[in-house]
Amino acid sequence: MTRRSIFFVTALLLLFSAVTSRSYAQTGPLPSWNDGTAKTAITAFVGRTTTQGSPDFVAPAERIAVFDNDGTLWTEQPIYFQFAFAIDRVKAMAAEHPEWTDTEPFQSVLAGDTKGVLGSGEKGLGEIMAATHAGMTTDAFATTVREWMATARHPKFGRPYNELIYQPMVELLAYLRANGFKTFIVSGGGVEFMRPWVEQAYGIPPEQVVGSSGVVTYELTDDKPVLKKEAKIEFIDDGPGKPVGINRFIGRRPVFAAGNSDGDLQMLQWTTLNDGPRFALIVHHTDAEREFAYDRESHIGKLDKALDEAGTRGWMVVDMKADWKTVYPPGNQ
């Protein structure tokens, strides 16, 4: 070969190598995670538990991964998004309820008085949720949720609420599923509120969503069967309720759990305080510029006891600012 031919072939090989390396870097696991302890720990755990012959191998049927939703898979500040939905529903329904103009907590909602709404306590918040979530069929409620998702906008970001999902966590869900894990949402949020949109957002089907629920009754109206939502609480899937919900609706103890607040503490304990390989992950909100920064003193998503316990239990605390290259999917920053 001539010197020119050798140079040409060498250049092609270098170009091919560069393209191949760049493609691998872009399509490798967890591309929106910065290289570091968190990413390494996750991929190492998945490698150990899915490799035949490994002492930590977990059979596919036992590869259960559970994720909190609010603050773990999508933003939860300045108020839980389901409560923002309920407030918007009060405003939309106000014309049908003139008595709300001088009845608390609805009066505060219509006046935009957030302090007044929160000051009404659990009783007032329960009245708001009952008025906006009950008295309709489950199908009608799902339609209302989808319509709200399509039109409502977050006050800080000006984006639809279902665009404020965390890209790194969406990648983590996909990575786990690609390695034989079955992913579930286990959230304090309402199960009927989450099911209409989570499959498109996270790839998690509605039957793999565990959440708080109200009483639902069956009716046959004009030979059409319907399920109707009542203003009664059936199950609260938060705090110690999460392990109960996992047992009731999943039936297997998870080997992987992710949360972000003290409301997830018992779920993380239930997952990790057991024999065999276990992994617990806490999303720590440290990025005030790209999202929000809060933990111990927050009125939403308080992270105090679980943060302390993470240090003693060896749970992985993900620093949102340091560990994530991006927060939201492309175009939603």
Work out the angle at residue 295's Cα, subtended by the Cα atoms of residues 294 and 300, and round it to the nearest 5 degrees: 75
The pLDDT of 130-154, averaged and rounded, is 97
Read off the pLDDT of residues 261-287 as tens digits, 9 standing for 90 and up: 999 999 999 999 999 999 999 999 999
Model pLDDT, residue 121: 86
Model pLDDT, residue 27: 63
Cβ–Cβ under 8 Å, residues 256 and 250:
no
Written as six digits, the tokens of 67 are 């994720």
Burial class of residue 153 (count of CB atoms within 10 Å of its CB; 0-12, 13-18, 19+) = exposed
Model pLDDT, residue 330: 87
Read off the pLDDT of residues 2-56 as tens digits, 9 standing for 90 and up: 444 433 433 433 333 333 333 333 468 999 999 999 999 999 999 999 999 999 9
Residue 122: band (very low, low, confident or very high) from pLDDT cuts 50, 70, 90:
confident
Q: State the Cα–Cα distance between residues 161 and 114, nearest whole angstrom.
A: 19
Domains and CATH numbers, the chain: 30-79+162-323 (3.40.50.1000)
Model pLDDT, residue 6: 37
Residue 132 per-residue DSSP state: H
Written as six digits, the tokens of 51 are 């490799």
Q: State the Cα–Cα distance between residues 250 and 230, nearest whole angstrom.
A: 25
Model pLDDT, residue 29: 94
Read off the pLDDT of residues 183-227 as tens digits, 9 standing for 90 and up: 999 999 999 999 999 999 999 999 999 999 999 999 998 999 999
Cβ–Cβ under 8 Å, residues 70 and 211:
no
Model pLDDT, residue 12: 37
Model pLDDT, residue 28: 83
Give the chain's mean pLDDT: 92
Q: What pairs with residue 267 in β-bridges?
A: none
Read off the pLDDT of residues 220-261 as tens digits, 9 standing for 90 and up: 989 999 999 999 999 999 999 999 999 999 999 999 999 999
Residue type for 127, please? E
Nearest CA to 271 out of 74, 70, 67 is that of 67
Q: What pairs with residue 286 in β-bridges?
A: 293
Model pLDDT, residue 311: 96
Residue carrying structure tokens 């600012």: 321
The answer on pLDDT for 66 being more than 90 is yes
What are the Cα distances from residue 67, in Å, to 101, 113, 138? Answer: 39, 33, 24
Model pLDDT, residue 23: 34
- Give just the sign of the alpha carbon dihedral 152, 158, 163, 165: negative
